[in-house]
Amino acid sequence: MLIANRGEIACRIIATAHRLGMRAIALHTPADRGALFTRLADDVVETPSYLDAPAIVAAAKAAGAECLHPGYGFLSENADFAEYCALEGVAFVGPPPEAMRAMGLKSSAKAVMARAGVAVLPGYHGDNQTAKFLKERAYQVGYPVLIKAIAGGGGRGIRRVDAHVEFDAAFESAQREAEAAFGDPRVLIEKLILNPRHIEVQVFGDSHGNVVHLYERDCSLQRRRQKLIEESPAPGVPEDTRAAMTQAAVAAAKAVGYVGAGTVEFIVDASKGLGRDSFFFLEMNTRLQVEHPVTEALVGVDLVEWQFRVAAGEELPKMQAELIPRGAAIEARVNAEDPETGFLPSPGLLRALKLDALDVRVDSGFAEGDSISPQYDSLVAKLIAHAETREAAIAKLDAALARAVVLGPKTNIAFLRGLLAAPEFVAGTHDTGFIDANLERLGAVPQPPDARAALAGVEAIYADLAPKAAPATSDNDPWSVADSFELLGPRRVPFEAEVDGKTERFVAVARGRGVEIAFRDGRPAPASEVAPTVLVVDDGVLVLNGGRQTHVRPIDPEAAGEVGAGASDGAVKAPMHGRLAALAVTEGQQVEAGERVAMLEAMKMEHALTAPRAGRVTLAGKTVGDIIEQGALILTVGE
């Protein structure tokens, strides 16, 4: 079996393949040489791209693979790729091409569901792709609307438009992202529901005509349409609504002769309550999804094993009456991003990664010492908790996040814990707009330094930097103590350290043969539920406290400080490592403060860069498509 995917996805598939006695061959690009999934595999094959279908199939045949698992993402929903595999005699572990074509594109899927009598949202799903025509249709549907790529998934190629004047820029951005992600720039227009719940149904079919559902998952906690927390069953959904939704999903799969794993997604209008008339078909993902472990925990099955068995021509391992849900399951995605700086990607070396012994399932594509690449998504690991009740599952997941250790790249662990504790989530009254509407309350804004982490870091630095004293001749010998000396009272050494780039003032107080560190202003440090994790690095220490990372480094009082560049010098620099997706200005162009000047793409997201002041543009020689290092100059806005 060859895996045409990478990271956590490949690791997950390898685990099941090995349990079933299958030989797992990992496909990888040069950027993934030595990655964890390649180390776990029985054999490896290098390819220039995860999207090069001929090269991938040729590699599968050369390696003697009887089947190819596309994972989720990349070519997993590409009907042409599935057909090509069949022509070359390699079994594709996924649905038949005709089902993928019928349901894999959002536009055709909506037509299928409409014919089946399932409600779909108002909009335009046709072939006319001219900007003027689509803009007119958006006006007719009524703002706000969504512009959505008809291919792919994962929140890519989607833009919200609130006013007619915003349409053109959003359309261009959606098309550009769709083309880059899926090789298909086509989009559709869809009415935006303002208070929606996102609920999806896992379905599975075999080649013998059997189709079952494995219940629903609630994926409403999203940011920029990227799911962060998923759970099953969906809270607050009445049984008759659940029955109607799952029956509609099964009917849709049967209508296209669906085989394999798929997910039918619905938007639920919370303003209408959660009745049978409140849900609308959104799209179908013709593949296994990232959040499938939630379903596996709830129903007690291995969906990757089911995929292999169905691809081999077997019947489904269980029929509907045998699929009995037990308890509640919930998953959190730990991402390498910094919520306090607008969720900027945070790639880099994983200096510490300790996710074992957390009493939850952990799916990850990394080990300590690996590096998170800026070329792919930001997922570090998924933590999945299962318990008898929803409340117990939430508590179990939160406890695991509190003990998880990820140091090096910044992560969203503290933010995830804030989500789990939010009263709206606990009550099950949240919707897909909850995160964006509550960023400040959830801690996704710049925060003051973590006092407990700062002290823990300074204590480690002080212990590391303090001169070693000669052996003492007695406990009271003042000449053997390697710090300052005072005739009256304990010895006190004032000093400064940098905490996340900000200078803080501390004092070291001698206590017997030890030293106590405190803030000079007497500021207290709140207690931590779990002791902070301290890691010494080249330029100080990294401290993890409550899921939040703090960088503490010593300050040399004799070193001259540098004044950082800001808006005053007009420099526009890359806030993270990424690809220059667009330049919106030309040499010498006059711009206003706040005007968009460039677009940087990193970890599957586009990030707009704006002019720090009004003036004329001087380009720094960067061109669209260039890989830009963090901090590199892209352009300057001069007076």
Residues with a known catalytic role = 287
SS3 content of the chain, % helix, strand, coil (to 5): 30, 30, 40
What are 167-172's contacts with CB under 8 Å, separation 24+? Answer: 167/131, 167/134, 167/135, 167/138, 168/131, 168/135, 171/131, 171/134, 171/135, 171/147, 172/131
Alpha helix stretches (DSSP H) within 439-532: 451-465
Taken as a whole, the chain contains a residue count of 639
Q: Amino acid identity of 209? A: G
Q: What is the C-alpha end-to-end distance of the chain, expressed in Å? A: 61
Q: Can you read off the two tokens belonging to residue 632?
A: 């590199």
Q: For residue 407, how far is the Cα from the chain centroid?
A: 17
Residue-by-residue DSSP string for 515-541: EEEEETT-------SSPPEEEEETTEE
The sheet with strand 605-610 has its strands ordered as 605-610, 596-602, 578-583, 627-628
Q: Can you read off the two tokens belonging to residue 430?
A: 């949240």
Instruction: Tell me the C-alpha distance between 240 and 226, whole Å.
Output: 29
The sheet with strand 540-545 has its strands ordered as 514-519, 502-511, 492-499, 548-554, 540-545, 533-537
Instruction: Tell me the C-alpha distance between 395 and 325, whole Å.
Output: 20
Query: In degrees to the nearest 10, what's the CA dihedral of 168, 153, 575, 610?
Result: 10
The 8-class DSSP code of residue 208 comes to T
Are 520 and 539 a contacting pair, CB within 8 Å? no
Task: State the DSSP H helix or E strand holding residue 170, giving kind and residue range, or none if neither.
Answer: helix 167-182
The 8-class DSSP code of residue 218 comes to E
Instruction: Tell me the C-alpha distance between 437 and 221, whole Å.
Output: 12
- The counts of H helices and E strands in the chain are 16, 37
**Max alpha carbon distance in the chain (Å)?**
92
Are 124 and 188 a contacting pair, CB within 8 Å? yes
Q: Can you read off the two tokens belonging to residue 158?
A: 């989607």
Strand blocks (E) in 41-106: 43-46, 67-69, 91-92
Instruction: Tell me the C-alpha distance between 490 and 287, whole Å.
Output: 67
Count of Cβ atoms closer than 10 Å to residue 473 Cβ: 9
Are 108 and 132 a contacting pair, CB within 8 Å? no
The 8-class DSSP code of residue 340 comes to G
Q: Per-residue b/e over 505-540, b at no fewer than 16 CB within 10 Å?
A: ebebebeeeebebbbeeeeebeeeeeebbbbeeeeb
Q: Amino acid identity of 19? A: R
Q: Can you read off the two tokens belonging to residue 634?
A: 């892209």
Q: For residue 317, how far is the Cα from the chain centroid?
A: 32
Handedness of CA 434, 438, 442, 447 (dihedral sign): positive
Are 147 and 189 a contacting pair, CB within 8 Å? yes
